Structure 1
Amino acid sequence: MSDLAHNLDSVHRRIERAAQSAGRDPATIALLAVSKTFPADAVREAHAAGQRAFGENYVQESIAKIETLADLRAELEWHFIGPLQSNKTKPVAQHFDWVHSVDRLKIAQRLAEQRPDGLPPLNVCLQVNISGEDTKSGVAPAEVPSVAREIAALPKLRLRGLMSIPEPADDAEAQRAPHRALRELFERLRAEGLELDTLSMGMSSDLEAAVLEGATIVRVGTAIFGARQYAQ
Structure 2
Amino acid sequence: MNSIKQNIEQVINQIGLAAEKCGRDAETVQLLAVSKTKPIAAIEEAIAAGHRAFGENYVQEGVEKIQYFAQQGAAPALSWHFIGPIQSNKTRPIAEHFDWVHSVDRAKIARRLSEQRPADMPPLNVLLQVNTSGEDSKSGLAFDDVAALADEVAMMPNLVLRGLMSIPQKANDYDSQLAAFSSLSEAMNKLKAKHPQLDTLSMGMSGDLDAAVAAGSTIVRIGTAIFGARDYSTKQ
For 2:196 and 2:29, the matched residues in 1 are separated by: 21
Is 1:50 matched with 2:50? yes
2:95 paired residue number? 93
Instruction: From 101, 104, 107, give the equivalent of 1:102.
Output: 104
Bigger CA drift: 100-109 or 1-10? 1-10
Alignment of 1:78 onto 2:87: no
CA displacement, residues 73-97 of structure 1 (integer Å, 9 cap, x when unaligned): 6511000000010100001100000
Does 2:201 correspond to 1:199? yes
Out of 215, 218, 233, the position equivalent to 1:216 is 218
Match of 1:65 in 2: 65
> Whole-Å Cα distance in 2 between the matches of residues 83 and 222 of structure 1?
19
Equivalent residue, structure 1, for 2:128: 126
Aligned pair count? 232
State the identity as a percent: 59
Q: How does 1:167-178 map to 2 (within 5 A)?
A: 167-178=169-180
Describe the SS at the equivalent of 2:207: coil
Q: Deviations over 1:78-132 (max 9, x none)?
A: 0000001010000110000000011111111000000000000100000001110
**Could you tell me how far 1:19 is from its partner in structure 2?**
0.3
Amino acid aligned to 1:208: D
Where in structure 1 do 4 or more consecutive aligned residues deviate above 3 Å? Answer: none
The whole-number CA distance in structure 2 between the counterparts of 1:189 and 1:63 is 32
**Secondary structure, aligned partner of 1:231:** helix
Is the 1:149–1:194 Cα contact (8 Å) retained in structure 2?
Answer: no
SS at match of 2:126: strand
CA contact (8 A) 1:66 1:73 kept: no
Instruction: Quote the Cα distance in structure 2 between the aligned partners of 1:181 and 1:222.
Output: 26
Q: Tell me what 2:7 maps to.
A: 7
- Where 1:84 maps in the other structure, the secondary structure is coil
C-alpha displacement of 1:194:
4.1
Normalising by structure 2, we get a TM-score of 0.95
Does structure 2 retain, via aligned residues, the 8 Å contact 1:90–1:115? Answer: yes
RMSD between aligned residues:
1.4
Can you give the 5+ residue segments of structure 2 that lack an aligned partner in the other structure? Answer: none
